[in-house]
Amino acid sequence: MKKYALIFFIVTSLLSSAQDTTISNIDTLPKKPVKIFHSERTINANTTQPIGRGKMDFKVTHNFDDIAGSNGGIKRFFGLDNSTDIRIGFHIGLTDRLDIIASRAKGNGANPLKVRTTQLYELALKYELLRQLENDPSHPIAMSLFVSNVISSVNADYVPPRDINGNTTDTALNQGYTFMDFGDRNSQVYQLIIAKKIGKVSVQLNPTLVHRNYVALHDQKTIFALGGAARIPFSNSVNLIIDYFHPFRSQSSEDYFNSVDNTFNPPNDIDKNSSPFKIYDPLGIGVEILTAGHVFHLNFTNVTEILESRFIPSTTRSWGKGQYRWAFTISRTFVLWRDKSIAVNW
């Protein structure tokens, strides 16, 4: 009996010692980053989520045409007959926090505010500044910085300038070219991404600055926009995702585009027979489905183009008019290299 009592005492003492050690060292153990979003993008908005060191995410993104409205319906198979934009991208994790992105996008030259900026090449960086950590009030949010430059490789078209009456003129002939130099082909995006997971709900803000070196007449070269995103779980594997951007455009610019459209052949090209148009805020709504190895998105958006420098300042399609479309992304992750400092124990 004494032997069993001694064994019980020793086991109890060891368990108590282990528990005390765990409690005393819990604050010194490394904290895990919170998984705020499950991919690097919701629908149109970037997230704080990095790719990961040594990994490459290959993405093919496709935006179809309008589901309803004058450009949709059964005659165009609810937009599936046409694509408004296609992007092929390579997202590479140089470190655990730094991603480099290279992509090619078709662009949508039919949009009057695009001034024929198609055949687009994008080079971008995303760096994770802060991480939200589990059970750590000192790290309550995640924050990333995204910067990109987009170059259009389309040929510089020439359109004869017109006077106020719509007649062609020989004055200022150089202004008839869509691009005067290499700088005109470039546009930049600077975006700060601030995210937090509150319970099971993920929320995010995307303050964004877009600068385009070549714009339509009466358009703004530099536009600030405030974006946001949310992820709301329906179940353990199905989530609702929403993102939205509001560009702060000047009232004079909005009033001008609402009254006359002289933007497709800028500058100095006023077509008195063209119709006015309105610029809308980009809005995306989708369903996210999580599986063992993949994340699937079923997305709908009024955005025709995929790159931030295109859809943020110049979305001309409206949800209220049925001008929204199905968009999807096919993603495949590859391991390019492994950290040699990590030992493998068999």
pLDDT tens per residue, range 322-336: 888 888 888 888 888
**pLDDT (0 to 100) of residue 179:** 75
Average pLDDT of span 224-246: 92
Amino acid at 313: P
Residue 15 inside a domain? The answer is no
How many Å apart are CA 325 and CA 310, to the nearest integer? 17
Residue 31 inside a domain? The answer is no
Average pLDDT of span 142-160: 82
Higher pLDDT: 12 or 219? It is 219
Residue 258 inside a domain? The answer is yes
The answer, yes or no, to whether residue 18 has pLDDT greater than 90, is: no
Q: Please check whether residue 41 is in contact with residue 297, taking contact to mean a CB–CB distance below 8 angstroms.
A: no
Query: What is the domain extent for residue 186?
Result: 40-335
For 68, the token pair is: 């309803």
Terminal CA-CA length for the chain: 43
Q: Which residues of 124-157 are buried (b: 16+ CB within 10 A; e: fewer)?
A: bebebeebbbeeeeeeebbbbebebebebeeeee
Question: Is this model's pTM higher than 0.75 or not?
Answer: yes
Q: Please check whether residue 223 is in contact with residue 312, taking contact to mean a CB–CB distance below 8 angstroms.
A: yes
The answer, yes or no, to whether residue 168 has pLDDT greater than 70, is: no
The answer, yes or no, to whether residue 8 has pLDDT greater than 80, is: no
Alpha carbon distances (Å) from 89 to 33, 52, 94, 120: 26, 16, 16, 12
pLDDT band at 276 (very low <50, low <70, confident <90, very high): low
Average pLDDT of span 93-120: 81
CATH number at residue 280: 2.40.160.40
Residue 11 inside a domain? The answer is no
The answer, yes or no, to whether residue 32 has pLDDT greater than 80, is: yes
The answer, yes or no, to whether residue 171 has pLDDT greater than 60, is: no
Residue 324 inside a domain? The answer is yes
pLDDT band at 321 (very low <50, low <70, confident <90, very high): confident
Residue 303 inside a domain? The answer is yes
The answer, yes or no, to whether residue 316 has pLDDT greater than 80, is: yes
**pLDDT (0 to 100) of residue 177:** 53
- Mean pLDDT: which of 62-76, 150-164, 279-293 is highest? 279-293
Residue 52 inside a domain? The answer is yes
Helix, strand, coil percent values for the chain (each to nearest 5): 15, 40, 45
Residue 4 inside a domain? The answer is no
Q: pLDDT tens, 296-312?
A: 788 899 988 899 999 99
**pLDDT (0 to 100) of residue 266:** 44
Count: domains in the chain: 1
